[in-house]
Amino acid sequence: MTLDQDTCYAIISARDSRYDGRFFTAVKTTGIYCRPICPARLPKRENVIFYPSAAVAQEEGFRPCLRCRPETAPDTPAWRGTSSSVGRALRLIEEGALDSGTVEQMAARLGLGERQLRRLFLKHVGASPVSVALTRRLLLAKQLLHETDLTITQIAMASGFGSIRRFNESFQQVFKTAPSFLRRESGVERPCIPAADIRLKLRYRPPYDWGAIAGFMKARLYPGLETFEAGIYRRSLCLDGQIGLVAVAQGKGDWLDVRVRLRDLTLLPKVIARVREAFDLAADPDVIGALLGQDPALQGLVLRRPGLRVPGAFNPFEIGIRAILGQQISVTAAIKLGASLVSELGKALPNEWAQEAGVSRLFPSAESILASSLDFLGMPQARVRCLKAYCEAFLAQEDFFGGDTQLVLARLLGVKGIGPWTASYVALRALRDPDAFPAEDVALARGLALPGGERPSRDALEQWSQAWRPWRAYAAQHIWTELASG
């Protein structure tokens, strides 16, 4: 990967916030790397070199700046929209796949060879998977030191190091100081907290259309599982058999305020990754809007909602269930079915967890759905059979949502009752494929009707959408949002 070094220097000279997170400045005389907006004195041109990611800078021996805090830069991965394999790998790393597993195991989950995955990382990211994972751990640990009341031992666990010794050694090697020094620098003594109740700021690249994503979620709430009140979205999670609670609200700057309650701190990276996915925090609206805005049919939509995001998934299995329940019926009718499913089959939260307003249950497991007749749903038997077939397929495949996008689509289409629309919708939300596009969707055809009212056919819509690659999912979201607002 290469950057125009002179252009980058002009950007840091202007401290242009539009480029925050797009690259990092390494200062050879100090051994530190910074964000483009760092308020420190501008270094001389001959003393700096620019890198596309924090992982590359750290791999080259530079340590993060304590003043501009690179861990707080908005996430704008260079791979997004270019390499789906690297994108999925980075999501797995963010969830902690390399905290306890190996690169070989992660490559196998992606349907790739280890050497092939390493080559892709060097091409698209500029650093190895192991370096990216270590950078992720260290920057998360640094953020937790600055923003939470967790003890240093708890931070070591929560950031994926597994032991306080490994954490201290890695931190000392990169930052040239002990973690306790940063804690003292904050000027606050941090008592040991009895439970993991964590508050964080998760950054995004502005603009961010909070109103649109809030409206999308409010229209699809499953009572008991989730709420959206007073501007705060809350829901329960079950990860690796452990319960968690999440609350998300719009921050006062370019971030979301996130509260996480967990017993097992090692799950924190996975929860953070799910929040980022669900609220699409890695999107680069400038890049996406520049391409989609070239089509006259989308130009007005992009101008009206430049910060539109594609809502993702806290639980990929859950999105599959939601998509099946929504087949050939309205959103309102589908939500009623989902609410009944959660009420009847969702496991009730223990008393010590059921303290968030309105959140009292977990999403039903595949096993509980299979064990029920589902008569309470009042659905056609064909769709009941589809739900159960999907649950059976999910349980039969060790990593149902792992591997190449086309492989996952093939698994979904192999379930009787799941067609191209359902599979594409799941890919759009659960797989986070930015190019997923349900060309069979009736609403998309309606939203792109010609002046005379004629709607494009499925094949015509598919052909039309080729100009929107690799951001077709965002084009679909723009059209759906416009129809919902009208």
Residues labelled as active-site residues: 34, 441
Backbone angles phi and psi of 343, in degrees to 5: -65, -40
Residues in CB range of 62: below 8 A, 6 or more apart: 26, 27, 31, 32, 33
Q: How far, in whole angstroms, is CA 314 from its chain's centroid? A: 9
Burial class (CB in 10 A: 0-12, 13-18, 19+), 357: exposed
Distance CA 322, CA 127 (A): 37
Asked if the bond preceding 74 is cis, omega within 30° of 0, the reply is: no
The dihedral built from the CA positions of residue 94, 98, 103 and 104, taken in this order, carries a sign that is: negative
Distance CA 332, CA 210 (A): 22
- E-assigned strand segments in 7-107: 24-27, 32-34, 48-51, 63-64
Q: How far, in whole angstroms, is CA 398 from its chain's centroid? A: 22
SS3 309: coil
Backbone angles phi and psi of 277, in degrees to 5: -70, -45
Distance CA 421, CA 415 (A): 13
